[in-house]
Amino acid sequence: MNAPLLALVLASLAAVAPVWALTGDEENSVSLYRRLNAGVVNITNRAVAYDFFSNPIPSASSGSGFAFDAQGHILTNHHVVRNAQRLEVSLANGSKWIAKLVGADPVTDLAVLHIQAPPELLTVLSMGDSSALQIGQKVLAIGNPFGLEHSLSTGIVSSVRKFVKTGATEIEDVIQTDAAINPGNSGGPLLDSEGRVIGINTAIFSTSGGNIGIGFAIPVNTAKRVAADILTRGYVIYSYLGAETQTLTPDLAKALKLPVERGAGIVRIAPGSPAAKAGLQGGTRQVIIGNAIVVIGGDIVVKAGGAVVQTSEELRRIIRKHQPGDVMTVQVVRQGTLLDGTVTLTEQPR
């Protein structure tokens, strides 16, 4: 085939070839990534451990984070920066900055870092509102999975769970998403379709270590409160009752012939604590029920702050929602009698 004829054939094919256009949803994802990925940073945690012979063994791990103000403050997960001896933040332009840990909160698995980068190098992500999330709404996660460069995954809000516990961390109102969250994504932002941060990616549920469609993010409203406390004081304030409790189950209540089936039984009271000053009473003796050692004889908290208490975890969450100085109502069962009272909470000792 001669050249003019070949050119004519190619031109004809080009004329009838389909033109592939992005859908509206695809355009939204592409636009958000191009506009906001520079706000997501890579965090390297460098530490030194020692072997049996006291020889130093350097190690490094990585995670994600994002700039939330023009002063160089970075929000990430506590577990990303835990035990760090040196923290390094890499920006999207390739520059690296030594980071200072401003403060961390193991309870919510959040931490704030600071770098001395000039404002013109920072892309600040705006904080949204996680109070009205809808199951099924689109979300996007940007991070550095497995230490790779920035990547984007999309999905939906699968659920908003009242409470999730991962190890020693207890997260309330946690966002569950099917957007792929893998090791290295921790601390990165979960965005809505407007590009606002609605969560901080923190964990996956997996038997293999990889994503299987169940990821969790800390709600941004929690992150805003925690970050504000850290920037103001260097730590997060929590309310304190001063009572150690154990969950009362129906089987335990039946074995002990108690008048209530559920609640938080007080095991012991800290001297001088708000609980002690309010006259709450701890346990008086230990008994063995099955394979468990149970402390009995103390008050059983069945309501706190106007909410029903069925477990020790619920009581802790109710206390956490109060501020130091708040007067919290309590209802307890003491030796078969229902009693009402109040307790003035204080700041949790550090």
- The values of phi and psi at residue 210, to 5°, are -110, 170
Lowest mean pLDDT among 74-88, 160-174, 204-218: 204-218
Render pLDDT for 258-275 as a digit per residue (tens, 0 to 9).
Answer: 889 999 999 999 999 999
Half-sphere exposure of 206 (CA within 13 A, CB side): 16
User: Per DSSP, what are the bridge partners of residue 332?
Assistant: 301, 339
Answer whether residue 93 is part of any domain. yes
Sequence-separated (6 or more) residues with CB below 8 Å from residue 200: 75, 76, 77, 110, 187, 188, 189, 190, 217, 218, 220, 223
What pLDDT was estimated at residue 287? 82
Instruction: Say whether both 115 and 144 belong to one domain.
Output: no
More confident site: 248 or 169: 248
Residue ending a domain, choose from 214, 233, 252: 233
Q: What is the mean pLDDT of the chain?
A: 85
Answer whether residue 105 is part of any domain. yes
Instruction: Say whether both 212 and 252 belong to one domain.
Output: no
Answer whether residue 4 is part of any domain. no
What 3-state DSSP class applies to 113?
strand
Instruction: Say whether both 144 and 51 belong to one domain.
Output: no
Q: How far from chain centre, in Å, is Cα 270?
A: 29
CB of 157 closer than 8 Å to CB of 175: yes
**Catalytic positions:** 79, 109, 186
Residue ending a domain, choose from 87, 121, 155: 121
Answer whether residue 16 is part of any domain. no
Answer whether residue 291 is part of any domain. yes
Answer whether residue 217 is part of any domain. yes
Render pLDDT for 16-52 as a digit per residue (tens, 0 to 9).
Answer: 555 568 888 889 999 999 999 899 999 988 765 555 4
Separation between Cα atoms, residue 87 and residue 78, nearest integer Å: 12
What pLDDT was estimated at residue 206? 46
Instruction: Say whether both 248 and 338 belong to one domain.
Output: yes
What 3-state DSSP class applies to 66?
strand
Render pLDDT for 206-219 as a digit per residue (tens, 0 to 9).
Answer: 444 544 557 889 99
**SS3 readout for 161-229:** EEEEEECCEEEEEEEEECCCCCCCCCCCEEECCCCCEEEEEEEECCCCCCCCCCEEEEEHHHHHHHHHH
Based on the structure, what is the number of domains in the chain? 3
Answer whether residue 3 is part of any domain. no
Instruction: Say whether both 219 and 257 belong to one domain.
Output: no
Instruction: Say whether both 194 and 247 belong to one domain.
Output: no
Instruction: Say whether both 65 and 150 belong to one domain.
Output: no
Percent of the chain, pLDDT > 90? 54
Query: Which range of residues forms the domain containing residue 83?
Result: 36-121
What pLDDT was estimated at residue 10? 56
What pLDDT was estimated at residue 207? 45
Instruction: Say whether both 225 and 250 belong to one domain.
Output: no
- The values of phi and psi at residue 67, to 5°, are -80, 130
CATH number for 259: 2.30.42.10
Per DSSP, which regions of 51-137 are E strands? 56-67, 73-76, 86-90, 96-105, 110-114
Instruction: Say whether both 111 and 170 belong to one domain.
Output: no
Residue ending a domain, choose from 95, 121, 147: 121
User: Per DSSP, what are the bridge partners of residue 127?
Assistant: 197
Answer whether residue 48 is part of any domain. yes
CATH number for 186: 2.40.10.10
| Cα 101 to Cα 127, 234, 288, 325, distances in angstroms | 21, 9, 46, 29
Which whole number is the average pLDDT over 146-170?
74
CB of 218 closer than 8 Å to CB of 171: yes
Instruction: Say whether both 261 and 324 belong to one domain.
Output: yes
Say if residue 204's pLDDT is above 60. no
